[in-house]
Amino acid sequence: MRKINFYVGKTVFLAVLMVLLVILSLDLAGTFIDEMGSLRADYNVVEALIYILLTLPGRVYQYLPYASLVGCLVGLGILANASELVVIRAAGVSVKRITWMVVKPVLLFVALGIALGEYVIPYTDQLADSRRAVALGDQRSVQTQRGLWTREGNDFIYFGAVQPDGVIHGVTRYRFDENRDLLQASYTREARYQGGYWHEEDIATTHLDRETTRVDHLEERRWDTDLSPALLNIVALEPHALSIRNLFFYANYLRQQGLDSGEYRLAFWEKTLQPLATVSLVLIAISFIFGPLREVTMGQRIFTGVVFGIVFRLTQSLLGPSSLVFGFPPVIAVVIPIAACIGLGVYLLNRTR
């Protein structure tokens, strides 16, 4: 039994790994072509390659559930085509036992995804975005496609780029009074965090009165704020790139500030339940091999896996934003497609007994 366990696990593991590498190769090739159209200023081919490599952990995390789905279809399909699954079942191994043999190697990829999402992606994605933003900027300011907006009291603040080492670029601060009239706007080329405050360099401040405006220029200035590098490292990233603990922390922070935290709560539940989503897709793959895809070609199995993965992703993409629009709990939007996969997989497996 131990040899059968190892053989099935090895076959599935190598199949998932192969599918993941193929998906990543295609994605990296497409990303490289896209980045070639953005080359300008200091953003050259080398910087583009560095950006792509830094975003690689995030791509691995994104594709792991779907690579597990297609990989299990491929691995089990190889065993089915060689009639090895029939021999294994004839030896007295139950479908439930085979299911556990298949799930175990997938759990290694689930553990990899958790490690990447919690400890690697938050750093590498921010470093990639900040390097790209600085390289694309000119000597005066940093221009980004997305940028970063946040609010502190009556100040609305825009950051061109936030680096993970406590350096920010292109900071624009708009200060309003209680009547929402603009009082002043300031631009800071660069600021560094120094023991509880930000040291700003090259500042231009525009003061707006009722009849006149005045511009002051300073070489340096101290900025006291609650926006620490740790908090900005969270705000600078898209929700899907944050760790689970930072998503939980920042969602609570937004709620305390009276701001909408729905997007971050949705991302929290998506990342928290992603291991379960991966296992549910693997369960679908197993049930397909023992059920409707038992005697089809390998190409049909791969096509079915790709289509099912797309449907699963589209369902998540529709239900997630719907929860934000219609106000129902984000956890429900995340659980529905997972529960549907588990229910379908269990139903098909029960029919094989």
pLDDT in tens, 312-348: 999 999 999 999 899 899 999 999 999 999 999 999 8
* Cβ-contact 320, 334 below 8 angstroms: yes
Task: Quote the pLDDT of residue 140.
Answer: 38
Task: Quote the pLDDT of residue 353.
Answer: 60
| Cβ neighbours of residue 228 closer than 8 Å, sequence gap 6 or more | 193
* Cβ-contact 23, 66 below 8 angstroms: yes
Segments of the chain scoring below 70 in pLDDT? 137-147, 353
pLDDT in tens, 75-108: 999 998 888 988 888 888 888 899 999 999 999 9
Task: Quote the pLDDT of residue 142.
Answer: 39
Count CB-CB contacts under 10 A for residue 305: 26
Residue of 123, 168, 132 whose CA lies nearest to 150: 168
> If you search the block for the tokens 């309003």, which residue do you land on?
176
Task: Quote the pLDDT of residue 71.
Answer: 94
Task: Quote the pLDDT of residue 161.
Answer: 83
What's the residue count for the chain?
353
What does the alpha-carbon distance between residue 327 and residue 306 come to, in Å, rounded to a whole number? Answer: 31
How is residue 352 written in tokens?
Answer: 């094989």
Task: Quote the pLDDT of residue 147.
Answer: 62
Task: Quote the pLDDT of residue 36.
Answer: 93
